[in-house]
Structure 1
């Protein structure tokens, strides 16, 4: 998997994570709602280190399973912070939102830098 594919996957997950964090925040007072998160970084590390399983397709028209890393949705069912069964911690979600925003900005800066470098190579050739 090349760098552009990794960056694309990471940007997509960051956008999905932002939506999920917003959903958690919106449901902060919903009875029995359990906070959700996306697990992605361990899959990204495995892909970067070449530890992904090689999947095969039985038909050339099938989508390539290795084109993009997919995050895993995890629901935290082990805790309840409130009497109504809800376990969303607003402070944690706000921190996650800030962290995800910084992560997204770093990824876009990295991608922009790579495109700029590619553009320089093409215009100077």
Structure 2
């Protein structure tokens, strides 16, 4: 599996998630606006479970090219609506924003660690 590609995809998903959270917050009082979410982790789990990205594998631990997995943007309709038809919950958005920041920082730390390891190997 292309770890760098998967980390890049995860960081792009986090960036998209940050954009949608900002959009949701900006539209907290917009009539009939529905909150949007990025669905990626569940899609990744499905892909791993189904191995829908199956390629010719040379080792039983190979699970295919998951870096090509695309996130889905969904509109949230399950939450309660305000009088104006809007379903953005500012507290949920702030929590999602904090969680996404931690997620992005973790992905950055993973990528930096891999680059440091690669740099160390190349300099020896």
TM range (shorter): 0.7 to 0.9
- In the alignment, structure 1 residue 93 sits paired with structure 2 residue 100: no
> What is the CA–CA distance in structure 1 between the aligned matches of 2:110 and 2:10, rounded to whole Å?
11
| Paired residues of 2:53 and 2:66 also in contact (CA < 8 A) | no
1:17 matched residue in structure 2:
17
Q: Relative to structure 2, which stretch is displaced further, 88-97 or 71-80?
A: 71-80
Q: Provide the secondary structure at the position in 1 that maps to 2:68.
A: coil
Give the paired residue count: 115
Residue 45 (structure 1) shift: 3.0
Q: Relative to structure 2, which stretch is displaced further, 24-33 or 40-49?
A: 40-49
TM-score by length of 2: 0.83
1:77 matched residue in structure 2:
77
Residue 49 (structure 1) shift: 5.7
Q: Provide the secondary structure at the position in 2 that maps to 1:73.
A: strand
Which consecutive residues of structure 1, in runs of 5 or more, have no partner in the other structure?
Answer: 56-64
> What is the CA–CA distance in structure 1 between the aligned matches of 2:45 and 2:117, rounded to whole Å?
25
Residue 67 (structure 1) shift: 5.0
Which consecutive residues of structure 2, in runs of 5 or more, have no partner in the other structure?
Answer: 56-64
* RMSD after superposition: 2.1
Distance change (3 Å), C-alpha of 1:106 and 1:50:
farther
Residue 47 (structure 1) shift: 4.7
2:60 matched residue in structure 1:
none
**Residues 54-65 of structure 1 mapped to structure 2, 5 A cutoff:** 54=54
Query: CA offsets per residue over residues 26-68 of structure 1, 9 Å max, x none?
Result: 000000000000100022234556723459xxxxxxxxx9652
